[in-house]
Structure 1
Amino acid sequence: MKKIILLIAISLSNLITAQNNSKSLLWKISGNGLSEPSYIYGTIHISCDATLPQKVKTALDKTNQLCLELDMDDPNMQTEMMSQVMMKDGITMKKLASEEDYKTVDAFITSNLGFSAEMINTVKPFMISAMLYPKMLDCEMQSVETELMKIASDQKEEVIGLETVTFQLDVFDQVPYQVQMNELIKTAKSDLKRDKAEINEMLSVYKSEDIEAIINFSKKSDNVITSKFGEIMLDNRNRNWIAKIEAIAKNKPTFFGVGAAHLGGEMGIINLLSKAGYKVEPIVK
């Protein structure tokens, strides 16, 4: 279960116009009262190769703490998450699907997770989808966040988070259960073929380090949660993060690691930090 929780947890201006022509997942944040620069890096939660580039390791050496979306080494994270895995108001997966679709989902879950849908009938469908992430890769799943945490641990640096587990799960709860279930049904009917194809394309786009291509990819995703709920999953959270990033960076030089889809676009972290008066530069090498 701890592994499942980690998978779920490791479950979005004119100043930026010229800068975003540079393809980089790593950006330096300076100016506007910062005594020392901080860095922000676009991560990917599931990958076949989470090896960190040298430029990332160098930036980690120059900073004094690691800040991820969640405080991944919080000992209470698992308990907090487990308390919120169930749907509310007596809603079940069986109630959200036709009899035929539920049978399809049941057979699919049994085949891929080793237990029947009935055993997890009240679990939020997006969490079940997260349990399936390792099945979407033709390799042993790796995580960039895990690699970042290893270095932070070696350097005996603190790991903090921009959000709590409760807040992040509340964000997902804004996506209707029916929408979540519809996506799980689509996954089951394609027997992961749709999801595998999208993951492979996403990994290719991520490797390009083109943050504008990454945000555009999320907008055209066949997964409705990704493509149609961008304001909830990305934009609103980005706005909330800016003040937190400012306060954290002013306290001490920090390496921020957030999902790469949060960086690009008009409402992306890079643009919002630039509009707030910071110098944000791509680190290409």
Structure 2
Amino acid sequence: MKSILLTLATFLSIFSITAQDLEKSTLWKISGNTLEKPSYLFGTIHLTCNASFDEDVKKALDDTTQIVLEIDMDDPGLQQKMMGNMFMKNGKTLNDFVSEEDYKTLETFFLEYLGMPLKTMLNIKPFFLSTMLYPKMLDCPIQSYELELVKIAKTQDEDIKGLETIEDQLKVFDTIPYQDQINDLLKTAKDKLKYDKENFAKMLELYSDEDISELLKMVVEDKNNSFGKYQDVFLNNRNKNWISKIKSLATDQPTFFAVGAGHLAGEEGVINLLRKAGFTITAI
């Protein structure tokens, strides 16, 4: 269930750095702006075949005293809160949005790839139906950087916190029209995951190369899903909301922040927004 959670404008000032200007790195040091000790910002990819950390990341973890993720993955009530937000609002079901032909396509697809009858999931948000398919996009046992960080925090007896609540995160999928979510799901079903698997493999290559700028570009320009259409909802608005929280947490104590790598680059990315807020952000 936790793996479900597991995502560019004009030049505004002389302090702005565009996506093309960023160095290839998934680990960045946050310093300056009255911070007594540096904190670190790490870009993750939520599902991967290998969630091991290199020595620079391990040192950053050793040099910090708390870990902050997008959400608190160690919250004992996380699964219950997630379950409470899985269903479409206002009594809507999948049948309200698809033709009989498209329903049959989805029904056959879910039986083939998940062995599950679609009729038992008609009121689940299309996004959640899509996330059930994520494990099928990797030909390996799935690992998670976030879950590895939770383990490290427990080993080091450190707090785990979140930049937003699970409720905040899941509201995104009430903002994005269900019809658009279903259209994305139908593309996956009609293509039988071929495009999605190829696309995810490319994303993993870019992540391995630590090319966060190209990773962002690939995600928002993907014509096969609605991500780019709702970039403000998926990324930009959330990034802006995080900056004051990052400042407060980093001021309180040296912190290891880990968010999806898609949040780092771009004019409205976390790196550029932190620089605008007066921090020195340095690639490691």
> Which residue, 5, 11, 34 being the options, matches 1:9?
5
1:139-218 to 2 correspondences below 5 Å: 139-218=140-219
| Amino-acid identity (%) | 49
Determine helix, strand or coil for the equivalent of 2:139: coil
Partner of 1:65: 66
Partner of 1:100: 101
More helix by share: 1
AA in 2 matched with 1:260: A
User: How far is 1:126 from its partner?
Assistant: 0.4
**1:212-252: CA deviation from partner (whole Å, max 9, x where unpaired):** 11111112113433221111100000000000100111111
- d(CA) in 2 for partners of 1:167 and 1:17? 28
- d(CA) in 2 for partners of 1:21 and 1:187? 32
Equivalenced residue count is: 278
- d(CA) in 2 for partners of 1:243 and 1:225? 28
Determine helix, strand or coil for the equivalent of 1:227: coil
CA contact (8 A) 1:25 1:260 kept: yes
Partner of 1:126: 127
- d(CA) in 2 for partners of 1:167 and 1:200? 29
Partner of 2:75: 74
**1:196-216: CA deviation from partner (whole Å, max 9, x where unpaired):** 011001111111112211111
RMSD of the alignment, in Å? Answer: 1.4
**1:94-140: CA deviation from partner (whole Å, max 9, x where unpaired):** 22111111111011111222221100000001001111110111111
Where in structure 2 are there 5+ consecutive unaligned residues?
8-12
CA contact (8 A) 1:27 1:41 kept: yes
AA in 2 matched with 1:174: T
Instruction: Provide TM-score, normalisation by structure 1.
Output: 0.94
AA in 2 matched with 1:272: L
AA in 2 matched with 1:132: L
Partner of 1:253: 254
Partner of 2:10: none
- d(CA) in 1 for partners of 2:223 and 2:51? 25
- d(CA) in 2 for partners of 1:226 and 1:147? 27
User: How far is 1:171 from its partner?
Assistant: 1.5
CA contact (8 A) 1:7 1:131 kept: no
Determine helix, strand or coil for the equivalent of 2:226: helix
- d(CA) in 2 for partners of 1:73 and 1:246? 22
CA contact (8 A) 1:67 1:254 kept: yes
Where in structure 1 are there 5+ consecutive unaligned residues?
none
AA in 2 matched with 1:205: L
User: How far is 1:16 from its partner?
Assistant: 5.0
AA in 1 matched with 2:4: I
**1:55-99: CA deviation from partner (whole Å, max 9, x where unpaired):** 111100000010000100000111111111110112111221111
CA contact (8 A) 1:172 1:233 kept: no
